[in-house]
Amino acid sequence: MSKIRISFPMPTYSPPEIEARWQKAWEEADVFKARRSADKPKYYVLEMFPYPSGRIHMGHVRNYTMGDVIARYKLATGHNVLHPMGWDAFGMPAENAAMAIGGHPKTWTYDNIADMRGQMKPLGLSIDWSREFATCDPEYYGQQQSLFLDFLEAGLVYRKNAQVNWDPVDMTVLANEQVIDGKGWRSGAEVERRELTQWFFKISDMAGELKSALDGLDNWPAKVRLMQENWIGESRGIDIPFVRTDDAGTIRCYSTRPDTMRGASFIAVSPDHPVAKSLEADNPDLAAFIDECRKMDTTEAAMEKAEKKGIDTGVRVKHPVYDGVELPVWIGNFVLMDYGTGAVFGCPAHDQRDLDFARKYDLPVRNAFHMPGNPVEVESEALVPAKTETVVYIDHFAGITETTSQHGIDATIDYFEAHDLGEGQTQYRLRDWGLSRQRYWGCPIPVVHCEDCGVVPEKKENLPVELPDDVTFDIPGNPLDRHPTWRDTPCPSCGKPAKRETDTMDTFVDSSWYFARFTAPRADTPTNLDDAAYWMNVDQYIGGIEHAILHLLYSRFFARAMRITGHLPQGCEEPFDALFTQGMVTHEIYLTQDDKGRPVYHLPEDVTDGKLSDGTEVEIIPSAKMSKSKKNVVDPLGIIASYGADTARWFVLSDSPPERDVEWTASGAEAAYKHLTRVWNICDRIGAMDKEASGEGDNDLLRAMHKTIHDVTLGVESFGFNAAIARLYGFTATLQKSKASHKAQREAIMTLAQLMAPMTPHLAEDIWAHQGGAGLVTTAPWPVADEKMLVSDTVTLPIQINGKRRGELTVPADLDKAEVEKQALATQAVQKALDGGSPKKVIVVPGRIVNVVI
């Protein structure tokens, strides 16, 4: 007999409808506007703001979703939340686009911002959009110019000569990124180094303070603190003036290992050292070598990797302690002018680089010490023991013999100071921050160059110094240089014709204080002290690990500089109380080759089961960061269109710990969607239950619920979003199978909605409304776990024998140690293993484990 099935029009989970509805509801209730009030604590959560490339990508979705979870959780736990968004809008890509496709960087940038804002809004982020700004808004960069002038007055900015990459064909300055294998990316010409006068922030003056203050940043990842510490690079050493034999003064060398002075066999100076420069004119060989050095990449990585080369200058210096010993002065391509004094002494026996150099150029190798009981001379491998190891110094001038290198260094510094041969010094690796950029699309540096008055700050009432709109990018170089009506201006001091500075600021300047501007984005001063005092510091900052050093260090410097110049109140020197560095979103790469064997990449949406639509098999390359060039990108808009924002949000949080990379997979997204549908269906089922229905297992369900509240709360507070989601999966399964009463199930589904709300806010609102919850789930108070519901009466302990699990034992949770031991020893597994003997030792960790050692 055939059954007749009537198909009811089952309501289904419909994200487009739900998400639009609740976004509108939030907007109408204006729930995300940051408000100040005395009755609640404040919470400032910030994600590193995006560069307006024009398209949001999954990395953005992950970053902003994490911040949103925190922001929504803090809102639910009774905080006044500040969660703003802006645009890091200056930079090279806008100029590149103008060169490549025409148009104007300004139009390109603002169009991109409009596009990206439109792409971001469907994510349902709890952002206070009323505070939005872009760093290319004159209202923003004008305030930045004002900060610059105050820094200048406070002596925090100065000018000095520094090198840039110069493309001799395009006649333009290149960024490191634009130098490919030593050649300009457009022209292909050999890049040269060129010296320009540029502006610098005196960040090195604060090196010691920036280093020591790292200790207080307890809520920063230890690895970021360590990276910053190493970057700042504090070292204790000595500045030694080596006297030239030609009576032409001294060459000062900085060394952290003066204890190896016995083994000194040469001096190496930077190609940019004054000694090198002074000899260049009369010595063609030196000039040729220095010229070759100037063609090297300016990046530190390239310098370090390059073959170590040098040339003897012919100059000799006297050894500071050994009378009659002379050392040759070489120019070394590996010596940095920016670090120390731009000159070092080489001790080949105790430094591998110096040893390689000495062997190459046949310079003497002489030990300053050897290891106790092993007095061998260095041959092909330098002897570099840890500074804490004891070594035996060879006829050391300060009279030290068998001691640690660390003590040897200190004793040598004391000896040099006592004999007036040098001065102990604490040096930092950190260099001053060069902020001048020879580009158009950046914040103009607000100074004027006057023939009579020199460098004159622009008057504050003339700010902002706005970028002119009538510029073209048909030829390389900075359009500001060839814009007479903008460039020519009266001197602010004497009024005579003068010229504006045409360099603009590094975009890192823009991002070094935007977090402070968000506290009063429309103020007619850079900040409003009252608002800054209320909202600062950023309680939780979230962004990529790639910013671990520069951006964060520059921001820490800026906060101090703004404090000094009165733009931030005291206590804001460390602007980010807590930092979280999240991982990337990755995807597999699909590759085929064209008929010439060249690689052809394919978009994920064009690949099904490892094949293209025409059946061609693709090679699958393991996951890597999503990038346009590899085509391994998934467009968030496409995902939102097919599954909804909640699915995208849920997935980017679910699969990996937030600090690690997450691989985007179609099946993972599908699973997230299925799960949300399941939750929606459970809600629907409970809604259809008889309100008076009784059931079984109410207490079990509620216990599970309280455990889930506890675990999810902990997960959200500790950035364990993936773990929190695993708990939510578990609780959903429990609820799905539950036969409990309507009352208990309704409580469970409403709590589930609340716990899911930070991650999937639209679905949560819909469930909340469906079950007749009051108001919005977004503003409902966060559920609190009942401690009484969390404790259980018994506990099951694994029993190990010699560290290997051999059984288990269930005992009352409060049973004392001795009794646990007694019961454990009585178990079959232990009895069998003991075989009539007695254990050597029994370890009982209450509530955790029993280990019997036999």
Partner RNA sequence: GCGGGCGUGAUGGAAUGGUAGACAUACCAGACUUAAAAUCUGUUGGGGCCUCGCCCCGUGUGGGUUCGAGUCCCACCGCCCGCACCA
- Cβ 470 vs Cβ 479: under 8 Å: no
733 touches RNA by CB under 7 A: yes
> Which residue, 221 or 569, has its beta carbon nearer to RNA?
221
> Which residue, 736 or 831, has its beta carbon nearer to RNA?
736
CA distances from 466 to 7, 102, 131, 519, 579 (A): 67, 22, 22, 24, 34
Minimal distance in Å, beta carbon 158 to RNA? Answer: 15
624 touches RNA by CB under 7 A: yes
DSSP-assigned letters across all residues of 594-607? -TTS-EEEE-GGG-
16 touches RNA by CB under 7 A: no
853 touches RNA by CB under 7 A: yes
546 touches RNA by CB under 7 A: yes
Region binding RNA by CB under 7 A among candidate stretches 147-155, 342-350, 454-462, 655-663? 655-663
CA distances from 626 to 621, 635, 677 (A): 12, 10, 28
Region binding RNA by CB under 7 A among candidate stretches 182-190, 471-479, 595-603, 841-849? 841-849
704 touches RNA by CB under 7 A: no
The number of helix segments (H) and strand segments (E) in the chain equals 26, 34
Region binding RNA by CB under 7 A among candidate stretches 107-115, 250-258, 318-326, 662-670? 662-670
∠ CA(405), CA(406), CA(409), 5° rounding?
Answer: 85
Minimal distance in Å, beta carbon 217 to RNA? Answer: 15
Rg of the chain on CA atoms, in Å: 34
Q: Which residues neighbour 570 within 8 Å (Cβ) at sequence distance 6 or greater?
A: 563
Write 386-393 long-range contacts (CB < 8 A, 24+): 393/259, 393/262, 393/368, 393/369
Region binding RNA by CB under 7 A among candidate stretches 99-107, 140-148, 254-262, 719-727? 719-727
- Cβ 328 vs Cβ 267: under 8 Å: yes
- How far apart are alpha carbons 176 and 171 in whole angstroms? 16
Number of residues that bind RNA (CB under 7 A): 94
Encoded tokens for 196: 């320009």
Q: Which residues neighbour 72 within 8 Å (Cβ) at sequence distance 6 or greater?
A: 126, 757, 758, 761, 778
Strands (E), 712-751: none
- How far apart are alpha carbons 119 and 561 in whole angstroms? 36
600 touches RNA by CB under 7 A: no
What is the length of the chain?
854
Contacts with RNA in 579-598 (CB under 7 A)? none
Give the strand pairing for 172-174 and 42-47.
unpaired
Minimal distance in Å, beta carbon 431 to RNA? Answer: 4
209 touches RNA by CB under 7 A: no
Encoded tokens for 86: 């802006």
> Which residue, 657 or 773, has its beta carbon nearer to RNA?
657
> Which residue, 730 or 773, has its beta carbon nearer to RNA?
730
539 touches RNA by CB under 7 A: no
Site string for RNA, 334-353 (x = CB under 7 A): -----x--------------
Q: Out of 155, 468, 571, 798, which residue is the one contacting RNA (CB under 7 A)?
A: 798
792 touches RNA by CB under 7 A: no
Minimal distance in Å, beta carbon 803 to RNA? Answer: 3
Phi-psi region of 190 (alpha: psi -120 to 50; beta: other; left: phi over 0): beta
730 touches RNA by CB under 7 A: yes
722 touches RNA by CB under 7 A: yes
- Alpha-carbon 679 to chain mean position: 36
Encoded tokens for 787: 């401690």
655 touches RNA by CB under 7 A: yes
Contacts with RNA in 89-128 (CB under 7 A)? 90-93
Region binding RNA by CB under 7 A among candidate stretches 19-27, 67-75, 414-422, 803-811? 803-811
Encoded tokens for 478: 């900075």
> Which residue, 230 or 699, has its beta carbon nearer to RNA?
230
3-state secondary structure of 613: coil
Bridge partners for 238 per DSSP:
255, 424
Region binding RNA by CB under 7 A among candidate stretches 480-488, 650-658, 749-757, 816-824? 650-658
- Cβ 258 vs Cβ 405: under 8 Å: no
800 touches RNA by CB under 7 A: yes
Site string for RNA, 136-175 (x = CB under 7 A): --------------------------x-xx-------xxx
- How far apart are alpha carbons 575 and 568 in whole angstroms? 10
Q: Out of 230, 245, 250, 278, which residue is the one contacting RNA (CB under 7 A)?
A: 230
Q: Out of 214, 337, 394, 726, which residue is the one contacting RNA (CB under 7 A)?
A: 726
Q: Out of 25, 31, 384, 849, which residue is the one contacting RNA (CB under 7 A)?
A: 849
Contacts with RNA in 414-433 (CB under 7 A)? 429-431, 433
512 touches RNA by CB under 7 A: no
Phi, then psi, of 310 in degrees rounded to 5: -160, 175
270 touches RNA by CB under 7 A: no
> Which residue, 283 or 677, has its beta carbon nearer to RNA?
677
> Which residue, 86 or 761, has its beta carbon nearer to RNA?
86
223 touches RNA by CB under 7 A: yes
- How far apart are alpha carbons 320 and 246 in whole angstroms? 15
Q: Out of 661, 684, 700, 821, which residue is the one contacting RNA (CB under 7 A)?
A: 661
545 touches RNA by CB under 7 A: yes
- Cβ 705 vs Cβ 745: under 8 Å: no
Q: Which residues neighbour 697 within 8 Å (Cβ) at sequence distance 6 or greater?
A: 738, 739, 740
205 touches RNA by CB under 7 A: no
Minimal distance in Å, beta carbon 88 to RNA? Answer: 4
Q: Supply the angle between the helices 742-756 and 761-770 in degrees, to the nearest 10.
A: 160
Encoded tokens for 648: 């995208």
Region binding RNA by CB under 7 A among candidate stretches 119-127, 249-257, 317-325, 666-674? 666-674
> Which residue, 413 or 797, has its beta carbon nearer to RNA?
797
Contacts with RNA in 434-493 (CB under 7 A)? 434, 436-438
- Alpha-carbon 552 to chain mean position: 7
